[in-house]
């Protein structure tokens, strides 16, 4: 098949796991003999490839300020980023007309507006839309919930658009078929009014061979419990909760250290550094900044516990599954779709989102009980291999794409 992927970012431009997963899926589909074309935002560092086009009206070289809150866009920029970009619409129409793919796959259009989806929807070509988070929900149903304006006239304008512009967008862009990354995300769209029969749940997969199981051992007396946080640095991911939980452990006399992998807006990074200093754990916390996946993989092999303290409704993240596959014990929150991957007490420990004390107690359990920590790691690795392997994930996607293409 010839498959056409449309997405906002594409590596080497990465904000979170969506871009990395898209690249892995593209590589796997090409390895299975399919031709895969990609349309994304424009950026100087995009790889030169005949099937990679960076022509959407979103500047990936300004990724920091666009995606990580570096500046507030003007009203017209906000329209082009979140609602409709005539330039992106025309670029998508031309690109699809040139390639004539068997299936169009819209992966993620956060900050790229809904115009590429409108163009794909009316191209006459089979279409599948991936919803790995709420990007489509915000665009079709509730921009105010996304932008959270504090100025009265902006708030009034968005409420007016909810009853005028967004119904028109729904008529133009409502997709016939969706693939949701979790049952939680499917429920978001069903509650919004989409037909659940048109939404298929396919949990993402990770390369379990890369994140191979590494047997752990009981922790010698006095050796620090090695904790890992990996993810974007912003309040919703909860790194501040991880720092406070570490401080709680240290106050209780439990030797522990925390490695933090990830980058974010300078303002939040500065806030996190201040928190580390205020909690007096500067010698026990290392902020590595944004690192490659190979670095995270090595940490997964060497560390004891992944701390995944998300406070936002996490759709369904890859990092906990990568850690499980490696044999790490995982402590995560119940926010969003995470409980679909982790069974409390069997393949990890789950705590309420934003509860520093509960997170600290869960980490204390694993520090005090080597048997529990090792058992969770072993069972988590087995479940990751059985349920969340990347090859199985791609097989399911391929079958879904083929089912859409066959009538054509």
**157-207 pLDDT per residue, tens:** 666 777 677 788 888 888 999 999 999 999 999 999 999 999 999 999 999
Distance CA(159)–CA(112), nearest Å, equals 21
| Average pLDDT value over all residues in the chain | 91
- Note the pLDDT of residue 152: 66
Residues of the chain with CATH 3.40.50.2000: 2-205+390-405, 225-387
Task: Inform me whether the pLDDT recorded for 71 exceeds 60.
Answer: no
CATH topology (fold) of 2-205+390-405: Rossmann fold (3.40.50)
Question: pLDDT band at residue 14, thresholds of 50, 70 and 90?
Answer: confident
Question: pLDDT band at residue 148, thresholds of 50, 70 and 90?
Answer: low
Task: Inform me whether the pLDDT recorded for 299 exceeds 60.
Answer: yes
Residue 378: which residues within 8 A CB-CB, separation 6 or more?
A: 213, 327
Of the two residues 180 and 72, the one the predictor is more confident about is: 180
Task: Inform me whether the pLDDT recorded for 67 exceeds 90.
Answer: no
- Note the pLDDT of residue 70: 56
Of the two residues 259 and 266, the one the predictor is more confident about is: 259
**pLDDT, tens digit, for every residue of 270-279?**
999 999 999 9
- Note the pLDDT of residue 153: 63
The whole-number average pLDDT for the span 334-356 is 94
Residue 372: which residues within 8 A CB-CB, separation 6 or more?
A: 329, 365, 366
- Note the pLDDT of residue 408: 54
Q: Show the 3-state SS of the chain.
A: CEEEEEECCCCCCCCCHHHHHHHHHHHHHHHCCCEEEEEEEECCCCCCCCCEEEEEEEEHHHHHHHHCCCCCCCHHHHHHHHCCCHHHHHHHHHHHHHHCCCEEEEEECCCCCCHHHHHHHCCCCCEEEEECCCHHHHHHCCHHHHHCCCCHHHHHHHHHHHHCHHHHHHHHHCCCCEEECCHHHHHHHHHHCCCHHHEEECCCCECCCCCCCCCCCCCCCCCCEEEEEECCECHHHCHHHHHHHHHHHHHCCCCEEEEEECCECHHHHHHHHHHHHHCCCHHHEEEEECCCHHHHHHHHHHCCEEEECCCCCCCCCCHHHHHHHHCCEEEEECCCCHHHCCCECCCEEEECCCCHHHHHHHHHHHHHCHHHHHHHHHHHHHHHHHHCEHHHHHHHHHHHHHHHHCCC
Question: pLDDT band at residue 407, thresholds of 50, 70 and 90?
Answer: low
**pLDDT, tens digit, for every residue of 99-131?**
999 999 999 999 899 999 999 999 999 999 999
Which CATH number is 225-387 given?
Answer: 3.40.50.2000
What pairs with residue 40 in β-bridges? 54
């Amino acid at each position: 098949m010839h498959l056409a992927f449309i997405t906002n970012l594409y590596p080497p431009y990465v904000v979170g796991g969506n871009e990395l997963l898209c690249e892995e899926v593209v590589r796997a589909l090409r390895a299975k003999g399919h031709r895969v074309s990609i349309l994304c935002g424009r950026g100087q560092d995009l790889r030169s490839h005949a099937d990679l086009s960076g022509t959407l009206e979103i500047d990936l070289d300004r990724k920091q300020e666009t995606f990580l809150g570096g500046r507030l866009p003007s009203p017209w920029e906000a329209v082009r980023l979140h609602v409709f970009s005539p330039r992106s619409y025309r670029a998508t129409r031309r690109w699809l007309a040139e390639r004539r793919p068997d299936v169009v796959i819209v992966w993620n259009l956060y900050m790229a507006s809904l115009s590429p989806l409108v163009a794909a929807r009316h191209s006459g070509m089979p279409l599948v839309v991936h919803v790995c988070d709420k990007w489509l929900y915000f665009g079709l149903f509730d921009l105010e919930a996304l932008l959270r304006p504090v100025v009265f006239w902006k708030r009034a304008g968005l409420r007016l658009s909810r009853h005028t512009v967004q119904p028109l967008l729904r008529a133009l862009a409502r997709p016939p078929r969706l693939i949701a990354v979790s049952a939680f995300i499917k429920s978001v769209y069903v509650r919004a009014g989409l037909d659940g029969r048109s939404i298929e749940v396919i949990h993402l997969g990770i390369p379990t061979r890369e994140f191979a199981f590494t047997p752990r051992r009981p922790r010698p007396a006095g050796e620090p419990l090695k904790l890992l946080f990996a993810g974007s640095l912003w309040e919703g991911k909860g790194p501040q909760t991880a720092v406070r939980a570490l401080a709680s452990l240290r106050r209780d006399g439990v030797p522990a250290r925390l490695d933090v992998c990830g980058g974010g807006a300078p303002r939040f990074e500065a806030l996190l550094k201040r928190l580390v200093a205020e909690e007096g754990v500067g010698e026990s916390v290392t902020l590595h900044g944004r690192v490659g996946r190979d670095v995270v993989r090595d940490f997964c092999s060497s560390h004891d516990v992944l701390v995944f303290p998300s406070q936002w409704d996490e759709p369904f993240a890859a990092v906990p599954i990568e850690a499980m596959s490696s044999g790490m014990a995982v402590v995560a929150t119940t926010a969003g779709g995470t409980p679909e991957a982790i069974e409390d007490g069997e393949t990890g420990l789950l705590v309420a989102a934003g509860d520093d004390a509960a997170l600290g107690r869960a980490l204390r359990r694993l520090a005090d009980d080597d048997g529990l920590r090792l058992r969770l790691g072993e069972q988590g690795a087995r479940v990751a291999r059985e349920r969340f392997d990347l090859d199985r994930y791609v097989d399911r996607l391929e079958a879904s794409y083929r089912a859409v293409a066959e009538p054509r």
